[in-house]
Amino acid sequence: MKQSVLLIFAVVLLIPSNVFGVERGERFSVELNSGVSLATNKLIGIKPYPGLGFEGLLHYHLVPQFGVYGGWGWNHFGVGKSFIGPDASFEETGYILGVQYKQSFGDSPISCYLRLAGLFNHIETENSEGDIISDTKHGFGYQAAVGMEIPLGEKWSLTPGLKFNHLKRDSKFDDVLKKLDHNYVSLRIGLVRYF
């Protein structure tokens, strides 16, 4: 099964760009985005402070409107006084694999995008010294995003957007298993380079 998927992916990569109508030089792009994240619920009874996140993504454009992407992401949320100690934090890191649909606004060079992705992430709980006191191990979640792509020139674009992440994982605290239901909204701005 894995060999079949890899073979299909390799064939798609080798098909000339003009077969799908993607202009030469715009089959791939790299995106770096960052911004503020706001938890939409409590984690094990603790309301996290607004956090900060970052993603690095590689896009593969099958046609001008549709593509796939993958990458790595990091989100950090601080907490005040809690059963895990003062000034602790939650860090979610892991991998992203998804699909993107993009549509232009008429004749405008500006377009909007919709992204749906699977996550393979974990949540580390850290004390005020930065020591890991609990780790959920990696597990599956999802991400949905909507935003705009604003060209800054021939090969560069700006991508302001809004993302929603969901991840449910179990973690042990003093040999007690607790469920972390991590949901948050992120306001992001990214920079994309086509090649």
160 in a structural domain: yes
Which residues are CB-neighbours of 92 under 8 A, at least 6 positions away?
Answer: 73, 74, 75, 77, 121, 122, 123, 124, 165, 167, 182
Per-residue pLDDT, averaged over 31-37, amounts to 98
CATH no. for residue 115? Answer: 2.40.160.20
Per-residue pLDDT, averaged over 22-35, amounts to 80
Q: What is the pTM of this model?
A: 0.81
11 in a structural domain: no
Query: How many structural domains are present in the chain?
Result: 1
DSSP state of 23: P
Among 16-20, 91-95, 104-108, 122-126, the range with the most confident prediction by mean pLDDT is 91-95
For residues 139 and 4, the model is more confident at 139
3 in a structural domain: no
> At residue 3, does pLDDT exceed 70?
no
15 in a structural domain: no
3-state secondary structure the chain: CHHHHHHHHHHHHHCCHHHHCCCCCCCEEEEEEEEEEEECCCECCECCCCEEEEEEEEEEEEECCEEEEEEEEEEEEECCCCCCCCCCEEEEEEEEEEEEEEEECCCCCCEEEEEEEEEEEEEEEECCCCCEEEECCCEEEEEEEEEEEEECCCCEEEEEEEEEEEEEEEEEECCEEEEEEEEEEEEEEEEEEEC
User: What residues make up the domain containing 114?
Assistant: 22-194
6 in a structural domain: no
8 in a structural domain: no
128 in a structural domain: yes
16 in a structural domain: no
What pLDDT digit, counting tens, does each position of 99-139 carry? 999 999 888 899 999 999 999 999 998 888 888 888 999 99
> What pLDDT, on a 0 to 100 scale, did the predictor assign at position 150?
95
Flag the least confident range among 19-23, 46-50, 97-101, 118-122: 19-23
